[in-house]
Chains A and B, each alone.
Chain A
Amino acid sequence: MTPGRELLSELVGGIADELGSDDDLLLAGIDSGDLIRLGMLIEDRYGVELKADDLAGLRSIDAIDALLNRVGGRR
């Protein structure tokens, strides 16, 4: 399981396992509130402050993984 999928699973449970890595999370039925929490969870977990465009780009598991790669190096 990729780090992005793992993080999403923490918030939404098993439904994260059923998503394709490039599925649009909102269109796939992930609650917008959970996406907001995801952004804040990444900030807290990685000790970073995401930019507005980082947050707006959290649209798929691929995008979460790409962001985690970037913020991992930004710490």
Chain B
Amino acid sequence: MSGHLVAETTDRWLSALEALVPVPPEYRERQVDRTRARSILGCKEPVLDLLIERGLPVAGRDAASGGPLFDYHDLINVGLRSGSGLSLGEQAQRSLMRFALAPAATWTGDKRWSLQIEHRCAAEARCEHGRWEAAVPDLGPVGGRIERWQEERDGTADGAAGCGALMRQQGVVVLRGEVAPVVSADVRKVFRRAVKEIVEREVRYQWMPRALRTDPEATDRLRLTDCAVASRTLAGRLVELGFEARTRKSHVLGLVGVEHIWVQVLDADGLWKVVDPILAALADWTKGANPDFGDFCLGSISNRVLPWLCDADHDVATHVDGDRRTPAVTAVIAEPKEEAP
């Protein structure tokens, strides 16, 4: 590698670090060691050394080795801006947005998915009388049907620390997708403004721990956004204009199911429409994305989105033990299936 290229690579990493809004200590939820940090960044040792030297926050020290621990989200967010293409954040985003590269005709039409969903209680102590509250899929916005659905509420995660209670949902669903462009000029205008703010980085798109993304005062102060923040903001602006609007939680199905939040708005034609500023912004940043995808996000929804009967302010699943309510860590494993014979 030439000296010029090395300098260029170094500059990119340092710019990414400069753009980082670190997770404030009180919101940190997951720390990783140096080996894992390098894997998340997808970089070599000297790059990590340089980032530490230039201020990559050290979130703690490993009790056994005394080595530095780093905040998982800080690492993801530095990687996202690095332009290396090798960081976990970039690769996850590239994988998530792959469907946006395909022809528009593939975004809708019946698509069958086999689902295995696990909700794991994240409480540090066992919930003595725990019971599950869990959302169910709501295919209203996307169309389609549930062909099979079953739940087991009494599982336990193998070797889990803490509570470890496990709820499983399994099933087969057909998601149709819906093409329904927004007709209201006001909604279109507010949506475009929201996307522009993200794309032009008036607010910073970052991955955030749950405690931070659910604290509007903190995200406003730090000028941070993600799907939860952007959807709450957009829904609020639409309500101020006199529209009925609400946030909705979903999972985008793919190699890894990704929790994703968007907005439903009652349009001027009397129909509820899906508006999704974050997927529109991500498509804008995705090399090779279909240029029609941004418009698709203004009213339409794809056959890869599994909506839950749940808004941004609630968790898809919660383990309840008396007064203690613990949000579950949810994993969605989805596999596209051939049409039934």
Contact = CB atoms under 8 A, between A and B. Distances in A.
Interface of A: 24, 26-27, 32-33, 35-37, 39-40, 49-53, 55-59
B98 A50 contact: yes
Contacts of B198: none
A53 B254 CA distance: 7
A54 to B, nearest CB: 9
Contacts of A39: 91, 95, 255
Nearest to B336: A53
Interface residues of B, number: 23
A41 B334 CA distance: 21
Given A27-B333, A52-B304, A56-B334, A40 B94 contact: yes
Given A36-B256, A50-B98, A57 B91 contact: no
Chain B contact residues: over half helix, strand or loop, or mixed?
mixed
B333 A58 contact: no
B92 interface: yes
Given A50-B98, A51-B98, A56 B92 contact: no
A59 B92 contact: no
A33 to B, nearest CB: 5
A53 B94 CA distance: 14
Interface string B183-198: 0000000000000000
Contacts of B40: 33
Given A32-B256, A36-B88, A36-B95, A56 B336 contact: yes
Interface of B: 39-40, 88, 91-92, 94-95, 98-99, 101-102, 116, 253-256, 288, 304, 331, 333-336
Chain A contact residues: over half helix, strand or loop, or mixed?
helix
Nearest to A50: B98
Given A36-B95, A56-B336, 15 more contacts: A27-B116, A32-B331, A33-B39, A35-B255, A35-B256, A36-B256, A37-B88, A39-B95, A40-B95, A50-B98, A52-B99, A55-B98, A55-B254, A56-B253, A59-B333
B1 to A, nearest CB: 17
A40 B96 CA distance: 12
Contacts of B331: 26, 32
A10 to B, nearest CB: 13
A-B pairs with lowest CB-CB distance, top 3: A52-B99, A52-B98, A32-B256
A53 B302 CA distance: 14
Contacts of B98: 50-52, 55
A56 B91 contact: no
Contacts of A50: 98
A33 B37 CA distance: 13
